[in-house]
Structure 1
Amino acid sequence: MLMLISPAKTLDFDTPAHTAQYSQPDFLDESKVLIKELRALAPQDISALMKISDKLGTLNYQRFADWQTPFAPDNAKQAVLAFRGDVYTGLDADSMSDDDLAFAQQHLRILSGLYGLLRPLDLIQPYRLEMGTKFANARGKNLYEFWGNDITEAINAQLKEAGPLVVNLASNEYFGAVKPKALNAEMVTPVFKDFKNGKYKIISFYAKKARGLMSAYIIKNRITDAEQLKTFDVDGYYFSPEESSDSEWVFLRDEPA
């Protein structure tokens, strides 16, 4: 089983990592290509491209300028501990033991606009480059064209060890970099709905956190079988067979925890 999640815009490189274990991203050569092209942009160009403030444009201009290899614990941080935000609040990797992180390293993958496909303990340096950014580059008009089949092929290669199941807990923006029909695996997409105004609906904040909660549930319970996902019951969620299809499994919650 491989779980796929999205990265986060919010980063934390100040809190020391609670593990000494780390690995290197597989696609650093591709990241270098993107960084070289991103360095050609002025701060105002970055602000316009990413639709962010001048302050954030300047911050990311400096990040791209400072980005350098080789990555080591003194200039980079493990991805799952560096990303913050709703998904990572649910995941709560800071509370994971070394054994938990070892299982996550085998079964959790983070999709990234700059790094392609990350394992949890892969070192990263600060960046902002969302997958949906329409950044024209040497390989095409956007990041989906830049990454092409690379991410899908990497997932397929890793499924040989992890087992033939993909649990898609990523956003549509990031999962768009994967070619589902080319995956050599069964795929399940969990959907989380909360009861509001008389009906169940996807509420973005809660759904993002729930993706992290399910990832943590899988990791801490060492789940490798699809059917076991249906036992997920954290924070009041429960599996709804009536709402679900073969590939889209719906989890409902009657009241936020």
Structure 2
Amino acid sequence: MIILIAESKTMLRDEAPVTEEEYITHRPYFEAEAESYMHSYSHLEVQEVSSMLKCSHSLAVKAIELAREFPLKSSGLRASEAFTGVVFDSFDYTSLSKESRSYADAHIMIASSLYGLLYLTDIIKPYRLDYNVTMPDEEKNMAALWKQKNTIRLVKLLKERGDTEIINLMPSAASKCFDWKVIKNFCKVRVPDFRTPSETGRFQLPHAGLLKRMRGHLLRELVEKRGQTIFNTL
């Protein structure tokens, strides 16, 4: 089983020292592509980044700073620590047992607008990007740019690991980073349909914040019970 989740926009900026051996051992699979994107990013003007990310001037300045610091690999964070959004907070990786953390490390992958696909143990640099962002000199947004590469990578992993199931806990924007028609030829894809009861008794889609918490809680349950509850929760 492979469980797919999305990156979060919020990330820690307080990086930890990284040895050369750690960097080599936990280097993201698409590190070279990420380097290339950040190199282009680092040469943009503040107004260009502000327009590209649809963010404030101050956030654009910080985004460029991160891009310019990206080549410095003597510091970084594991993906499990770097992302701080609601899903990751609700999942609460650090409070898992050692055995559950090992299971999570092997079975969870993060769809990243910069790195393509990440394991929780991959060491990454903080960045600011999004799936629907179109970089200068590119005709496609980041989700479209990653679609083929992520699909090939995922299918290869399915074959290598002998996995026959993917649990998709991603929002629609992140899901566009994959070609599901191709992937479904190699495994069963399950997508939880999260609902909450309304005052009328009918079930409705939860608001964005609650939906993220529900994804995080289900992710934790899947990890703690080694995926055995999935048929009861979907």
Tell me which moved more, 170-179 or 195-204: 195-204
Give 1:197 shift: 3.4
Measured in 2, the distance between the counterparts of 1:81 and 1:102 equals 15
Alignment correspondent of 2:230: 229
Corresponding residue to 1:194 among 186, 190, 196: 196
> Is the contact made by 1:44 and 1:58 (CA closer than 8 Å) also made in structure 2?
no
Contact 1:6 1:110 in 2 (8 A): yes
Q: 1:47 to 1:197 in 2, by over 3 A?
A: farther
Given the two structures, how large is their TM-score scaled by the length of structure 1? Answer: 0.80
Query: Could you list the per-position Cα deviations for residues 67-117 of structure 1 after superposition, in whole angstroms to 9, with x for gaps in the alignment?
Result: 115x45xx1001111111111122111212332222112110000110000
Question: What is the DSSP-based 3-state SS (H/G/I as helix, E as strand, rest coil) of the residue aligned with 1:192?
Answer: coil
Q: Taking every aligned residue pair, what percent have the same amino acid on both sides?
A: 24
Q: Which residue of the partner structure matches residue 123 of structure 2?
A: 123
What is the alpha-carbon distance in structure 1 between the residues aligned to residue 196 and residue 137 of structure 2?
Answer: 40
Counterpart Cα distance in 2 of 1:65 and 1:97: 37
* C-alpha spacing 1:112/1:171, structure 2 compared with 1 (3 Å): same
RMSD over aligned Cα, in angstroms? 2.1
Structure 1 residue matching 2:192: 3-state secondary structure? strand
Report the number of matched residues: 223
Work out whether 1:26 is the aligned partner of 2:25.
Answer: no
SS in 2 for 1:155: helix
- In 1: Cα distance, 2:116 partner to 2:15 partner: 24
For the residues of structure 2 that align with 1:47 and 1:171, how far apart are their CA atoms? Answer: 24
Match of 1:149? 148
Contact 2:146/2:177 (<8 A) preserved: yes
Counterpart CA distance in 1 for 2:105 and 2:145 is: 25
* Alpha-carbon distance in 2 for matches of 1:83, 1:156: 25
Q: Distance in 2 between matches of 1:97 and 1:30?
A: 34
Instruction: Write the distance in 2 (CA, Å) between the matches of 1:231 and 1:15.
Output: 39
Give the Cα separation in 1 of the matches to 2:16 and 2:49. 29
Unaligned stretches of 5+ in structure 2? none
The residue identity in structure 1 corresponding to 2:57 is: D
Given that residues 91 and 212 in structure 1 are in contact (C-alpha distance below 8 angstroms), is that contact kept between their aligned partners in structure 2? yes
- Ranges in structure 1 where 5+ consecutive residues have no aligned partner: 233-248, 250-257
Structure 2 residue 223 is the aligned partner of structure 1 residue 219: yes
Are 1:4 and 2:7 counterparts?
A: no
Kindly state the Cα deviation for residue 16 of structure 1 after the two structures are TM-superposed: 7.0
The offset of 1:162, in angstroms, is 5.7
* Higher RCO (CA-CA < 8 Å; seq separation 6+): 2
Structure 2 match to 1:252: none
TM-score by length of 2: 0.88
More helix as a share of residues: 2
What amino acid sits opposite 2:48 in the alignment? D
Corresponding position: 1:103 with 2:106: no
Q: Is the 8 A contact 1:2 1:162 kept in 2?
A: no
Structure 2 counterpart of 1:143, one-letter code: M
Q: Tell me whether 1:60 sits opposite 2:63 in the alignment.
A: yes
In the alignment, structure 1 residue 171 sits paired with structure 2 residue 171: yes
Q: What secondary structure does 2:131 align onto?
A: coil
SS in 1 for 2:203: strand
- Pick closer, same or farther for the CA change 1:23–1:144 going to 2, 3 Å: same
Distance in 2 between the 1:14 and 1:36 partners? 21
Q: Does 1:49 align with 2:52?
A: yes
